[in-house]
């Protein structure tokens, strides 16, 4: 007795089911893979990594990075304005040399201009003491660039006369390699400009 053949329609139906199952599995697998890549990419965009002292990897969120940048930027501006304006006959050369490490040619050009105008000669000649009283900086971000406006209050002690001034300066900040101890925050002041200088009092 001959073995009966399976109906051709049953065989085709089974083959079609297998093909459809393989196609659906492939689509699901591809969709899952695309989603995983997209999710990983989003996490990578919002995170950075640092190596801890014990060799472990520490994830750092961009929000934290921006907060850290603001703290570093304010410290950098505070350091610069102290070096550049907190001067007297005994420390001005040392302080100005340190200040020049924190800015680009715009700072150097201002220094040269002040030197040509005799600012530092008068400091020596009359033993003036220029002391910074307060530094207030505001930082704004615009399309990835950082601008700042700093208000520096300082006094000039001429012995019997003490004058107080308010200086408003502006500029930009860019990130550079850290250079300890010359540039510990890894930032550089660019486009530095002294906008206004106003005398606040006239004390004798």
> Domain check: are 114 and 186 in the same one?
yes
Q: Is residue 50 part of a domain?
A: no
> Domain check: are 35 and 89 in the same one?
no
Q: How far is residue 195's CA from residue 90's CA, in Å, rounded to a whole number?
A: 28
Domain total of the chain: 2
Q: How far is residue 26's CA from residue 157's CA, in Å, rounded to a whole number?
A: 81
Report the CATH number at residue 128: 3.10.450.230
Range of the domain at 36: 1-42
Whether 172 shows a pLDDT value over 60: the answer reads: yes
pLDDT digit string, tens, across residues 78-105: 999 999 999 999 999 999 999 999 999 9
> Domain check: are 136 and 162 in the same one?
yes
How many CB atoms neighbour CB 85 within 10 A? 20
Q: How far is residue 169's CA from residue 25's CA, in Å, rounded to a whole number?
A: 64
pLDDT digit string, tens, across residues 95-147: 999 999 999 999 999 999 999 999 999 999 999 999 999 999 999 988 888 99
Whether 53 shows a pLDDT value over 90: the answer reads: no
> Domain check: are 94 and 152 in the same one?
yes
Q: How far is residue 84's CA from residue 175's CA, in Å, rounded to a whole number?
A: 20
């Amino acid at each position: 007795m001959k073995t009966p053949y399976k109906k051709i329609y049953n065989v085709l139906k089974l083959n079609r089911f297998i093909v459809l199952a393989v196609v659906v599995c492939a689509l699901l697998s591809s969709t899952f893979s695309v989603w995983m890549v997209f999710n990983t990419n989003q996490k990578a965009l919002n995170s950075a990594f640092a190596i801890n002292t014990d060799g472990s990897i520490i994830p750092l969120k961009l929000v934290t990075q921006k907060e850290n940048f603001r703290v570093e930027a304010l410290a950098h501006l505070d350091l610069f304005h102290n070096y550049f304006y907190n001067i007297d006959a005994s420390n001005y050369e040392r302080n100005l040399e340190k200040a020049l490490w924190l800015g680009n040619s715009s700072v150097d050009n201002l220094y040269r201009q002040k030197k040509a105008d005799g600012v530092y000669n008068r400091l020596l000649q009359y033993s003036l003491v220029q002391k910074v009283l307060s530094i207030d900086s505001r930082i704004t971000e615009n399309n990835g660039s950082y601008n700042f406006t700093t208000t520096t209050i300082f006094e000039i002690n001429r012995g019997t006369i003490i004058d107080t001034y308010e200086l408003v300066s502006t500029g930009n900040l860019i990130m550079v390699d850290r250079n300890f101890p010359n540039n510990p925050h890894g930032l550089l002041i660019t486009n530095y400009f002294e906008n206004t200088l106003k005398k606040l009092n006239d004390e004798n």
